Amino acid sequence: MLALLWLIPTLPLAGFLILALAGARLPRPVIAGVGVGSVGLAALVTVLVGAGFISAPPAGEAYTQILWTWLDVGGFRPQIAFYLDPLALVMILVVTFVGFLIHLYSTEYMIDDPGYSRFFAAMNLFVASMLVLVLADNLLLLYLGWEGVGLCSYLLIGFWYTEPANVRAARKAFIVTRVGDTAMAIGLFLLFASLGTLQIQEMMEAASEQWAVGSAPAIAAAALLLGGAVGKSGQLPLQTWLPDAMAGPTPVSALIHAATMVTAGVYLIARTYIIFSLAPTVLTIVAVIGAVTLLMAGFSALVQTDIKRTLAYSTISQIGYMFLALGVGAWTAAIFHFMTHAFFKALLFLAAGVVILALHHEQDMFKMGGLRRQLPVTFWSFLLGAASLAALPLVTAGFYSKDFILYEVFISEGSLWLWLAGIVGAIITAIYAFRMVFLTFFGEANHHLDHRPGLPMKLPLVVLAVLSIIGGFVELPATLGGLHLFSDFMEGAFGPPAETTGPAIRTELLLQIASVIAALGGVYIAYLFYRQRPALAGQLANSTLGRPLHRLWFIGWGFDWLYDRLFVRPYYGLAQANKDDLIDLLPRGIARLNQALYYGLSRTQTGNIRLYALAIALGAVITIGLVVLL
């Protein structure tokens, strides 16, 4: 069973090749079949492989499948090899399964689009790259997948490339993540130079032997890898690309910018956790970045009018939770939250897509309303997704994962401020989640529906809604029975958790009550502002304190403005100043010199005999002079 591992990234890659080479000539159903089928088959194989892994775990809880040697240069021998351990298994299950559902959804969503085959080709390539990234045995192969998902993100954000705004958004995404990618590449160089190998397990072993805790190479390597993770996952300070990336089609936002690509950073840190453990300073930075980001993005999500931008900021915020968890060493909690987040965020995006399509590409929430009765399935699934996002207690998966994170943050040696940030973030999350629900689905129903969702769109919604509920039941806190299926499983990847004298059950219960209050309180506030007394929200926004705050949050805390002034404009100025390209001066100069000589010399051919005689005389005099003198 496990030997089928290599099929998992290869099937979507094959789908991509078929669609890229022949897609334009195939009929729509065939394209859809290839596109969805490749990911679906990959999901099936993943289930089989997972079953094999769980039922008969290989030695050391890890299975490596080496395909071939990629390079052999001066002692550097990276291989095309796939490494399966619990972490990777969780990731590929989520990626293939959620990916399959989103592909199925897209068959109906993109049905009218002329670029149908291009869409599925890019989506398949994306899934293949993501799987390579997750299954990579060494950091070089991981980087290959990393770049691949970046490329596909660019292709898919700018999918409707005839619109310049989309192209700008795609470029922005690529360039901003490129900053992170470069940091990561330098990190890879550093790791190889110090440790001699990029094979992840070997590297981590060598690091733990050679590097002391808190030593300079560890901090440098971890910081550089963090740079890459921050770029891909849209955390501070490289988060500016994510809200603009909503220019792409909604399934793209669901797959790439909610469930999978943006979590690549989280995966990277989790995968190389030993390097990070050796650099506690960097881990603290990770936690702080997570905390600050989740707050900033939360506030921004609170005041957005576009439903997709709200969800984008929400994604940034939730990944901030994951970073927060990673920063305090709670690897398992972070991955757990990744899993539940993938379910409910993808669900929210897909449901938003249904609404957008139904209202003929209307994305402003304030222009929606009352869709509760017109789109019932969508309403209920969106509601469940929002509930999971807000971490409504006991019944939603989001509750269990967020609670797990908050618990781990509290009992870690980190400061209390991190936990407070998490709680405040939870309140805000609940507010904006239900703000979305109330604005979109409640209120007056006076819209003409353009498009009612069919089965390919409703089925993924239902499945994801179910998962958003039951997905959390694999990990119950001690107060509720202490079921540790997930964390036990993840021990295979991260080793047994550090034995801490955990606080008493009572503390845990108090913490949980705090988060329950936060969630329910947030829901109530949202209800207050957007159902009962809608004018109140407007009044608050227009108050003397409210207006600048509203403006600040709306523009994402001014990062775009800052980067524009700091980087974009000077660069444009430089490019403008170098319009005539200084470096090009040499070849152009040679050409110009030639031309000048040509024109100059051709002017001496006047046909004037006296001039010729003069030239002869001059030449003779000079030559004789040379002979005489030398």
Partner 1 sequence: MAGIPVEHGLFLAGILFGLGLIGVLVRRNVIFMLLSIEVMLNAAGLAFIVAGAQWGQVDGQVMFVFILAVAAAEVAVGLAMVLQLYSRFKTLDSDAASQLRG
Partner 2 sequence: MEIVFYGAAVVAVISTVMVITRLNAIHALLYLIVSLLSVALVFYSLGAPFIAALEVIIYAGAIMVLFIFVIMMLNLGPQTVLQESQWLQPGTWVGPAILAFVLLAELFYVLAAGVTMPGGEPVLGQPQDVGLALFGPYLLGVELAAMLLLAGMVGAYHLGRREGIGADSAQYQESARQRVRQMEYGVEGGEWDVGSSMQRVGSRE
Q: Which residues bind partner 2 (CB under 8 A)?
A: 614, 617-618, 620-621, 624-625, 628
212: left (phi over 0), alpha (psi -120 to 50) or beta: beta
Identify whether the C-beta of residue 225 lies closer than 8 Å to the C-beta of residue 180. Answer: no
Residue from 513, 613, 622, 624 touching partner 1 (CB under 8 A): that is 613
Does 627 contact partner 1 by CB under 8 A?
Answer: no
Distance CA(200)–CA(212), nearest Å, equals: 18
Q: Report how far Cα 596 is from the mean position of its chain's Cα atoms.
A: 55
Closest approach of partner 1 to the CB of residue 591, in Å: 21
Of 21 and 614, which CB lies nearer to partner 1 in the complex structure? 614
User: Which pair of tokens denotes residue 164?
Assistant: 């310049």
**Cβ at position 615, least distance to partner 2 in Å:** 11
Q: Does 607 bind partner 1 (CB under 8 A)?
A: yes
Which listed option, partner 2, partner 1, none, makes contact with residue 608 (CB within 5 to 8 Å by class)? partner 1
**Bond preceding residue 237 cis, omega within 30 of 0:** yes
596 binds partner 1 (CB under 8 A): no
Take residue 592 and report the two structure tokens written for it: 């110009």
To the nearest whole angstrom, how small is the minimum distance from the Cβ of residue 594 to partner 1? 17
Decide if residue 600 touches partner 1 (CB under 8 A): no
Smallest separation (angstroms) from partner 2 to the CB of 602: 22
Q: Which is nearer to partner 1, 165 or 611 (CB)?
A: 611
Q: Which stretch binds partner 1 (CB under 8 A): 202-210, 343-351, 459-467, 610-618?
A: 610-618
Residue 607's binding partner, choosing from partner 2, partner 1, none, with beta-carbon cut-off 5 to 8 A by kind? partner 1
Mark the segment that binds partner 1 (CB under 8 A) among 300-308, 492-500, 550-558, 606-614.
606-614
Q: Give start and end residues of each alpha helix (H) in 364-473.
A: 371-374, 376-390, 397-411, 416-441, 455-470
Q: How far is the CB of 610 from partner 2 (least distance, A)?
A: 10
- CB nearer to partner 2: give 545 or 626: 626
Binding of partner 1 at residue 25 (CB under 8 A)?
Answer: no
614 counts as binding partner 1 under rule CB under 8 A: yes
Query: Binding partner of residue 505 among partner 2, partner 1, none, CB under 5 to 8 Å per kind?
Result: none
Kindly compute the dihedral angle of the four CA atoms of residues 469, 470, 472, 475, in this order, to the nearest 10 degrees. 160
Can you tell me which of 71, 510, 617, 624 binds partner 1, judged by CB under 8 A? 617
Residues 265/229, Cβ–Cβ less than 8 Å: yes
- Measured between alpha carbons, how far is 284 from 413 in angstroms, rounded to an integer? 10
Distance from C-alpha of 261 to C-alpha of 150, rounded to nearest angstrom: 8
Region near partner 1 per CB under 8 A, out of 2-10, 235-243, 582-590, 599-607: 599-607
Site for partner 1 in 269-308 (CB under 8 A): none
- 495-534 b/e with 16+ CB inside 10 Å = b? eebeeeeeeeeeebeebbebbbebbbebbebbbebbeeee
Cα atoms found within 13 Å of the Cα of residue 109, Cβ hemisphere only: 30
Q: Distance between alpha carbon 97 and the CA centroid of its chain, in Å?
A: 18
Q: Which helix (H) or strand (E) holds 611?
A: helix 609-629
Query: Minimum Å distance from CB 611 to partner 2?
Result: 11
Of the chain, the end-to-end C-alpha distance in Å amounts to: 91
Q: Which is nearer to partner 2, 448 or 610 (CB)?
A: 610
Site residues for partner 1 per CB under 8 A: 602, 605-610, 613-614, 617
